Structure formats: C-alpha cells, structure tokens
Amino acid sequence: MVDATNGADFSRVDVASITKTFKLQDRIFFFMTLASAALVVLMLLAILVVLVIDALPTFQTFGLSFLWGTVWSAPTDHYGAVPAVLGTLISSLIAMLIAVPLSFGIAIFLTELCPGSLRRPIGTAIELLAGVPSIIYGIVGLFVLVPLMQLYILPFLIATIGQVPVIGYLFQPPAPGVGLLTASLVLAIMVLPFITAITRDVFLTVPPMLRESAYGMGMTTWEVARNILIPYTRRGLVGGVMLGLGRALGETMAVTFVVGSVTRLQASIISPSTTISAQIANTFGEADGLQLSSLIALGLLLFILSFCVLALAKWMIGRSDSF
C-alpha cells in the first residue's frame, strides 16, 4: 500500500486482487468473531444440557418431590433438596442483613464524610478485600472466627436470645462454633466490599448540583443521604444488592469450612448445617449413582436460583435512570 501511494506507477497495482484478498481476510475475521461469540452461547447451553441429563435419574426416582423432600440420607439412598436449599437461602439472607447496612454506611462515609486524601486509600483497600480468594475467607473463618463463636458469642446468644419464646428456637444448642450463623458472618464479610464498591459508584452518579442544593437548604449529611442519595439511586442500589446476593448464594469455599456440613432440617441457625454448594463440595468426590445425580440436581437448582437473582438485578439496573 505504501509503495502504491508513493510510487508513480499505479498500473502495477492489481486493485481487484487486493480487494479480493481483503474481502477474504475480512470474512475470515468476521467468522472468527462470530464463532467465538457463538461458543460463549453454546457453553451455557452445554452446561444446562449436562446438568439436566446428569440430574435426570434423581427426578425419575423422586419426581418433583425431590424439591420438597426434607430428608437427605445416603444410607437409605433417599434425597430431598430442602435442607441444603434452605441453608443456602437462610445463610445468604442473614449475610445480606449484615452486609447491606454496613456497605451503605461505608459508601456514605466514602462519598460524604471521608477527607479527600483518605478516600482513595480506603476505597482501594476495600476493593482489595474483594480480590482475596474465597478459600482464604474460609480458613481465616475456620481458625479465627469459629473459636470466637464457640467460646464467647454463641454461648452468649443461647443464654440471652435463646431463652426468649419463639425466637429462642433459632438459637438452640448444639453450638460447636461451626454453623449457619458463622457461615453467614463469613459471607457477609465476603460480599461487603463487593456491595460497597457498587454503592459508592452509584452514589457518585448523583449530580453534585442536587447534592449541593440539599446541603444549601440546610440538610444534615444524614438527611442528604437518606432523602437525596438513596432515593435517587435506589434502583442501582437494589441491583447492586442483588448482585451481592447472587455471590452469596453461590459461594462455596468460604462456607464449606465453617458451616459444619450436617444435612438435617433444623430450626437452630447456630447449629451445624449445610448449603447447596457446601453439600456439593463435601460429598461430590465420594458420591456415585443416585447420590451423585441428586447433588447435580442441587447444582441445577443453585444455577436457576442465581440466574433468577441476576435477571432481577439486571431488570432493576436496566430500569434505573441513574445507573
């Protein structure tokens, strides 16, 4: 090309053949990109197909009653999804109850209170917390949080809330330290940086004019957060919370270490319990036959659950004016 423009002799340049080569190359490049994009889509289909095929024996044996079966027993080869699904839902719910207010607090601190020189270091530190692999949360939880729960926090909870009628059922021994509540705490610390980062980012999308007008009218910082920031960004906030929830639902290693892995339906949230992902991680290696198929069926349920949460989050953020 360079030669063609610099040299005077254009007659030697075979424009037709160059155009033809370019067209061919363009086609190849186009099909490479198309094939790659198609591969991503195919991968999702493949995941669904493999999970459904491998989960089929379970549904053939138990029918849909697998979904509301409350017994998971390898000796009798009878499997029901409820204990694990309930464990996943409850631990994620408690984790969100702890993490969401904390995240909002940190985000308000970072956007409204924090002196400018500290804003970046603290923001970066919280984002780094999000990069720590989940197994690290697992072992630190096991060796630091579990003894703490076992020796101080859980006995205290049993002695106080455990004595209250009705709610007390949630806080009954045995409480060896590992259990649903411990798992919820570890999960909360894990999703905290994630929700904080999104919350801070959506708070920063609030137009400075709006914020300053509110301050100018004499609002206190809390009133600005409560009446301006949160209402203005509410869809983005809900979307962020949903994304955090999706993480909590699917988290495996951090939970497996501290949940205790007891597959029994029980009211107490401080006793050893299990979640879908912990159940899979703990027993998948030794399982075969119907048990393996049931574990995969649990995995399918988890996938559907996390898909619903993501779809809801997208829908929320998509309808947002501010995100």
Partner 1 sequence: MEDTIRQNIMSRRYGRNRLMMTLSVVAAGLGMFFLAVILGTLLYHGISSLSLDVFTMSIPAEGSRGGLLNAIYGTAMVTFFAILIAAPIGILAGTYLIEYANGSKLAEAAKFINDILLSAPSIIIGVFVYGAIVVPMRGNSAIAGIAALALIALPVVNRTTQDMLLLVPNALREATAALGAPRWKSMTHVIYRSAWTGILTGILLAVARISGETAPLLFTAGYSKFMNAGFTGPIATLPVAINTLAADPGEDLKRLAWAGALIITVAILAINILARLMGGRRQ
Name the residue among 105, 93, 145, 121 with its Cα closest to residue 309: 93
SS3 173: coil
Single residue of 73, 221, 231, 264 touching partner 1 by CB under 8 A: 221
Single residue of 56, 93, 97, 135 touching partner 1 by CB under 8 A: 135
The reply on whether position 243 binds partner 1 by CB under 8 A is: yes
* 202, 240 contact by CB (below 8 A): yes
Single residue of 192, 241, 258, 269 touching partner 1 by CB under 8 A: 192
Amino acid in the structure at residue 42: L
CA dihedral 174, 178, 179, 183 (to 10 degrees): 160
The reply on whether position 126 binds partner 1 by CB under 8 A is: yes
Q: Using CB under 8 A, which residues numbered 47 to 106 contact partner 1?
A: 47, 50-51, 53-54, 101-106
**What is the per-residue DSSP string for 237-282?**
HHHHHHHHHHHHHH--HHHHHHHB------S-SSS-B--HHHHHHH
Distance separating alpha carbons of residues 303 and 308, to the nearest angstrom: 9
Residue placing its CB nearer to partner 1 in the complex, 142 or 170? 142
The reply on whether position 281 binds partner 1 by CB under 8 A is: yes
Shortest separation between residue 89's beta carbon and partner 1, angstroms:
14
The reply on whether position 22 binds partner 1 by CB under 8 A is: yes
Binding segment (CB under 8 A) for partner 1, from list 141-149, 162-170, 176-184, 228-236: 141-149
The reply on whether position 177 binds partner 1 by CB under 8 A is: no
Shortest separation between residue 180's beta carbon and partner 1, angstroms:
18
Single residue of 14, 20, 26, 68 touching partner 1 by CB under 8 A: 26
Which H or E element spans position 78?
strand 78-79
Single residue of 25, 70, 160, 213 touching partner 1 by CB under 8 A: 25
Residue 206 phi/psi, 5-degree rounding, is -65, 125
